[in-house]
Structure 1
C-alpha cells in the first residue's frame, strides 16, 4: 500500500511539473490566435504594445533594457581584407527601439517570418581604434566616436520551428537574418593622429563625404551583433512560455 501511495505521488509530481507550473504570460505580451484572419496585423500591434517594455527591459524575463542597445566589442575590418584595421569597444546604439514595421508576413508564426523595418533615426557611440589607409589617406588613431544616422531600412527574416520538451511544445528560434541599408549619416572620430585637428578634420570630412560606402562596409559587423543579441532574447522568451501560450488556437 505504501509503495502504491509513493508511486501515485511520483506520477502526480511529474504531471504537476509538466502542466501545473506554466509561467503566466505578462499582460504586456498580447496573444494572437492562429485562427485570427488578420494575424499579421495582430502581431504588429503586439509589437507596438511591447515596445515600451523592450526599451526599458524585462527583468522578470531576464531581458536587459535595449535603450541603449549594448553591442559590446566588434572587429569591423581587418587590414589583410580591407587595408585597414578597425575595432570598436563598448559600442552602444541609441533609439534602436523606435523602428516602424512597414511590412510583415508570416505563416501563422511558424516557418519563415519576414519583417521590413524603417528606423527614422539612431545614434551610436563607443571607443574606436584604427590603423591603415582610408580613401587613399593614411589613417591612425584611437579615441571616442559618435555617429548619427537617419532613414535606415532593414529586412529581418526569422526561422521559427517547434520542439517538444516533457510532452509540451515550445517554439524554437533557429535563425535570424538582418540586412540593413543606410540612408543618411555623419560620424566623428576624436583624437585622430594624436589630436592633430587639421588632419582629423580632413579625415572626418572625407569619411562623411563617403558615408554611405563606408557604412556598407561597417554594417555587416553590426548586423551580426544585432542577430546575436535578438537571438538571445528570442531564445529566453521561447524557453519560458509554451507554444500554446504564445499562439493558442
Structure 2
C-alpha cells in the first residue's frame, strides 16, 4: 500500500526532460489555464508509463516490486490479528486519471499545490502471513494474495525556488498525501486451508471490510512516504531549471502594449515587427512552427493559357515551400478596438518558392507533358490583410479569438522554372520555360487566388495559436 502512494504522487507530478517530449504539452506558469494544462499533460503521460521512455527519463511502471513494505499491520484489534505482506508486485500502475489540480504561484514559491484524481484499477500480486494471537496460543496462515484495487488520491505539495550557479530551480519543501479506497476485490489463498467453504467465506468478509483495512494502514505509512516522495521528487527536479519545467508566458518575443498608450498603433506595429526573427525559427512553446519555409500543403492548379489561343497548359503544383515570408515590412496598420478589426499591409521584398509540378497541355501544336521540381522567384509582393476578431470568455478570463483572416495578394515581377520537361531535354525545356515566363502576368493571376486562400488559412491558425495563450489583459494591460 505504501508503494501505491509513492507511485501515485510520482505519476501525478508532471514529468519534463531537458528536451521536452513531443507528446507533452508545454505549460506556461502565468497562463490562466495552467491548471488544466498540467492536468492534461499528466494524463497524456499515462500510456508512456506503460512502456517507459528513457530518452525523456520516463520510467516503465507496468510492474513494480514493493517487497516487505507492510509488516505487522493490525487488522483486527479485538483478536490481536496482524498481517505481513511480502514479495508484493503492483501491475498496471500507469492506470490513473488526474481530475483536478490547483497551483498557487508567487515570486518565490508554489504553496499548497493540490492534486486529486483516481489511480486504478491496478493488480496486486504477493505473499501474505496472518497471525492471530489468543490467550494461550498463536495461529498463523500463509499464502498468496491477488486482487484489483481502485483509489482516490488527494495530495498537497509545497514547492519553493532556489538558485544554483545563477540559475533558478524548484524543489518540494513539504508533501502531504492521502489515499482513499474506492473499490476493489482481493483474494487470499489458503487463508483457512482446512475448509474451502470457510476459506471462501473469510475472503468475502475481508472484501466487505477493505475500506476499513485500508484506513488502518494510512496513518502508519504517512510520515514514511512524505519523506520518500520528497526525496525522490527533489532528485528529479534538480535536473531541470525552473524555466524548463514551467516557462514564463511573457517570453522575450512578447512586447506588451498598454491599452491607454496614446500611440498604441505604433506600439503594436513595433511588437509585430519584433516577432520577425521568432517567426523565422518558430515558437515551440506556443506551437507556432517556423515560417521559413512556409509550407503550403494544399495542391494548386495553374492555367496560364487563359486568353491565349496558342497556349493550352494546365500546371498542377504541390508540396510548395515559400521562403522569405519572415522578411516582411508592416505598413498601414490600423487596429479598431470598437469593431475588433485589424487592417494592415505586408510588403514582401523577395520570395522564393519550390515544390513539385505536373504539366499537361500544348503550345501551338506541340504536346507538353512532364513532372518534377519547380522553382519560382517573386519580388516586391504585397499582401493586404484584414483580420476580424471578437472577445470571448474562458474560465472567467477574456481572450481574443480571431474569426476570419482575409489576404489579398499583389505579386510584382517574377519567373518560374520547371525542371525535367521532355524527360530532361534542356533545349526544349528552355523554350517552354521562356513561353511560360513571357506570360508570367497571366500565370500569377492564376496563382494568386488559391495562394490567397491558403495563406489566409495558415495565418488565421498561426495568429490564433499566439493570442489564445494570453488573456486580453495580458496582451493589452491598462497600467
Q: Is the 8 A contact 2:303 2:446 kept in 1?
A: no
Gaps of 5+ in 2: 1-31, 37-101, 106-247
State the alpha-carbon separation in 2 of the partners of residues 136 and 151 from structure 1: 35
Q: Could you tell me how far 1:75 is from its partner in structure 2?
A: 2.5
Match of 1:76 among 301, 304, 310: 301
Task: Tell me which residue corresponds to 2:292.
Answer: 67
Match of 1:198 among 398, 406, 427: 427
User: Are residues 132 and 168 of structure 1, via their aligned partners in 2, closer, same or farther at CA, if it must alter by over 3 Å?
Assistant: same
Task: Tell me which residue corresponds to 1:237.
Answer: 466
Q: Is the 8 A contact 1:57 1:66 kept in 2?
A: yes
State the alpha-carbon separation in 2 of the partners of residues 166 and 76 from structure 1: 44
**What is the CA RMSD across the aligned residues, in angstroms?**
2.9
Q: Could you tell me how far 1:16 is from its partner in structure 2?
A: 8.8
Size of the aligned set, in residue pairs, is 235
Task: Tell me which residue corresponds to 1:5.
Answer: none
Q: Is the 8 A contact 1:170 1:238 kept in 2?
A: yes
Q: How does 1:89-238 map to 2 (within 5 A)?
A: 89-108=318-337, 111-133=340-362, 138-238=367-467
State the alpha-carbon separation in 1 of the partners of residues 423 and 273 from structure 2: 46
Q: Is the 8 A contact 2:358 2:371 kept in 1?
A: yes
Task: Tell me which residue corresponds to 1:52.
Answer: 277
State the alpha-carbon separation in 2 of the partners of residues 147 and 30 from structure 1: 35
Hey, which bits of structure 1, 4+ residues long, moved more than 6 A?
Answer: 18-23, 134-137
Deviations along 1:5-42, one digit per CA (max 9) or x if unpaired, are: xxxxxxxxx99959978963212211112211211111
Q: Is the 8 A contact 2:387 2:402 kept in 1?
A: yes
Q: Could you tell me how far 1:194 is from its partner in structure 2?
A: 2.1
State the alpha-carbon separation in 1 of the partners of residues 369 and 338 from structure 2: 48
Question: TM-score, structure 2 length as denominator?
Answer: 0.45
User: Are residues 158 and 66 of structure 1, via their aligned partners in 2, closer, same or farther at CA, if it must alter by over 3 Å?
Assistant: same
User: Are residues 56 and 136 of structure 1, via their aligned partners in 2, closer, same or farther at CA, if it must alter by over 3 Å?
Assistant: farther
